[in-house]
Amino acid sequence: MRTIALVNQKGGCGKTTTAVNLASCIADSGKRVLLLDCDPQSHASIGLGIDTDELERSTYDVLMDPVVQIRDVVHTVTDRLDVAPSSVILSAVEQQLSGQPDRENRLRRKIAAASDDYDYVFIDCPPSVGLLTFNALVACDEAFVVLEPSYFSLHGALKIVETIGLVRDQLGMRKRTKVVLTMFDRRTRFAKEFLREAQTRFGREMFDTVIRHTVRFREAANWGVSISHYAKSCGGARDYKDLSREVIADEERLAAGEFEPVVEVQDVGLEPGMDEWILSQPGPHFVEGGVLFSLVAPEANDVELVGTFNDWKREDGVRLTRSDNGVWHTTVDIGPGRHLYKFVIDGIWVPDPANENRAAPNEDCIVEVYRRD
Ligand SMILES: Nc1ncnc2c1ncn2[C@@H]1O[C@H](COP(=O)(O)OP(=O)(O)OP(=O)(O)O)[C@@H](O)[C@H]1O
Ligand SMILES: [Mg+2]
């Protein structure tokens, strides 16, 4: 049995749509599949036509009640596809299990007890890294990180990859990570550039199949069916069919213990997405830990920050760090007040081109820090 968690702490990036459609395609190919809804929003359950207001039992009971097994809560959707539905009460698990020993292992035990019943278990996770996602990460042997073309989504993906690494190291368990890009609109330059960036970062861990953006997914979800049962021949249905083939094709290698290396996060100095954020909102920013100063200077070899906060002394100055795409940055913890500053780029003093708040044109830049209560 393969247990696969669909994860990304960023909301709305296609986790549930991927869980529903991949589960459905793999069931259609003849495998016995369980889709376990681990999100209190219950979108996977609703997306497969289950009325979550009428549930007697749900994944909440599986997690909370030692005697309730997965088979006690499942609904059969098609011949080979079962759903363990969730309900909104699942959101109470975090609080109710707080301080309980072994609380991250609950799902793992229950899934292990169902291992004779299924070939595949997909776990649809909520958009957060709380106890529910943790239970899923501990229970799974593979995590499919779902990515839509946005930097917040990439940021979420990199964070969850780090968390998977922690779970793996702490528990000494093997966890295979794969990344799937969804909502891909090949007509936009941004999407194509994003795909290239994702391929650079994740390399072989990315699935070859990319899921296109199409309104058909929303329509199918409204009808409570998978896309292959709603519009079998549409492009989106074909994409998930292709993805399911890729997933099934891995079976043999996995059975032989050939796990691919876990994704290593590339250190680009800044959080992913921050560069773009800096470019879109020039000037100093107030961030956790102080004031973030930044400068776009791909050609520079050395950038320092001097100002009233270090008595304009370069020897006491602050060196900025360069990230891959030529954005220099540093965060300085300066107290409340009105501060003047300049950058020193390769020895030349220049005002911050992104800060128009200046003592005089071409003069020192001003940053005002207010005490935050
Ligand atoms: N490939 C796609 N093309 C167009 N719309 C899509 C696609 N995939 C998903 N959607 C739509 O985007 C919305 C969010 O998708 P989905 O619910 O799968 O994301 P999610 O990551 O599970 O969200 P959450 O984090 O809230 O659980 C839904 O309305 C869904 O129908
Ligand atoms: Mg979801």
Final residue before a domain boundary, out of 255, 289, 304: 255
Q: Does some domain include residue 20? A: yes
Q: Which residues does 216 contact at the CB level (< 8 Å), separation at least 6?
A: 227, 230, 231, 234, 236, 237
**Helical ranges in the chain per DSSP H:** 15-28, 43-47, 59-64, 93-96, 106-113, 131-139, 151-171, 189-202, 216-223, 227-230, 235-249, 251-255, 274-280
Residue whose CB lies within 8 A of the most ligand 1 atoms, among 17, 160, 212, for a mutation test: 17
Query: Whose C-alpha lies nearest to ligand 1, atom 23?
Result: 12
Helices (H) then strands (E): counts for the chain: 13, 16
CB within 5 A of ion ligand 2: which residues?
15-16, 43
* pLDDT the model gives residue 264: 40
* Strand-pair partners of 4: 122, 142
The rounded Å distance from CA 3 to ligand 2 centre is 18
Q: Is the CB of 17 under 6 A from ligand 1?
A: yes
- What whole-number distance in Å separates Cα of residue 62 and Cα of residue 106? 8
DSSP 165-230: HHHHHHHT---EEEEEE-SB-TTSHHHHHHHHHHHHHHGGGB-S--PBP-THHHHHHHHTS-HHHH
CATH number for 339? 2.60.40.10
Q: Is the CB of 217 under 6 A from ligand 1?
A: yes
Domain shared by 97 and 224, yes or no = yes
- What whole-number distance in Å separates Cα of residue 164 and Cα of residue 304? 37
Q: Does some domain include residue 264? A: no
Q: Does some domain include residue 297? A: yes
Q: Does residue 345 sit in helix, strand or coil? A: strand
**Structural contact between residues 124 and 39, judged by C-beta atoms closer than 8 angstroms:** yes
Domain shared by 21 and 140, yes or no = yes
Element (H, E) at 307: strand 303-307
Q: Is the CB of 13 under 6 A from ligand 1?
A: yes
**Structural contact between residues 148 and 194, judged by C-beta atoms closer than 8 angstroms:** no
Query: Whose C-alpha lies nearest to ligand 1, atom 3?
Result: 213
Of ligand 1's listed atoms, the one at least distance from the Cα of 39 is 27
Domain shared by 364 and 328, yes or no = yes
Domain shared by 105 and 213, yes or no = yes
Final residue before a domain boundary, out of 255, 289, 317: 255
Query: Going residue by residue through the chain (373 aa), what tens digit of pLDDT does each one get?
Result: 999 999 998 999 999 999 999 999 999 999 999 999 999 999 999 999 999 998 999 999 999 999 999 999 999 999 999 999 999 999 999 889 887 777 888 999 999 999 999 999 999 999 988 899 999 999 999 999 999 998 888 888 988 988 888 888 777 777 889 999 999 999 998 888 889 888 888 888 899 999 999 999 999 988 888 998 888 889 999 999 999 999 999 887 777 766 544 434 333 344 555 555 555 555 687 776 778 888 888 888 999 999 888 888 887 778 998 887 778 888 888 877 788 889 898 888 888 887 877 777 667 778 776 644 3
Domain shared by 141 and 226, yes or no = yes
Q: Which ligand is nearest to the CA of 37?
A: 2
For residue 147, the enclosing domain spans 2-255
The rounded Å distance from CA 277 to ligand 1 centre is 24
Domain shared by 224 and 290, yes or no = no
- Of 122, 58, 47, the closest CA to residue 89 belongs to 58
Q: Does some domain include residue 261? A: no
Domain shared by 113 and 160, yes or no = yes
Of ligand 1's listed atoms, the one at least distance from the Cα of 212 is 1
Domain shared by 282 and 209, yes or no = no
Final residue before a domain boundary, out of 192, 226, 255: 255
Domain shared by 142 and 68, yes or no = yes
The rounded Å distance from CA 223 to ligand 2 centre is 16
Domain shared by 86 and 131, yes or no = yes
The rounded Å distance from CA 116 to ligand 1 centre is 31
Q: Does some domain include residue 353? A: yes
CATH number for 24? 3.40.50.300
* pLDDT the model gives residue 295: 86
The rounded Å distance from CA 13 to ligand 1 centre is 5
* pLDDT the model gives residue 274: 57
Total domains present in the chain: 2
Q: Is the CB of 86 under 6 A from ligand 1?
A: no
Of ligand 1's listed atoms, the one at least distance from the Cα of 41 is 27
Q: Does some domain include residue 260? A: no
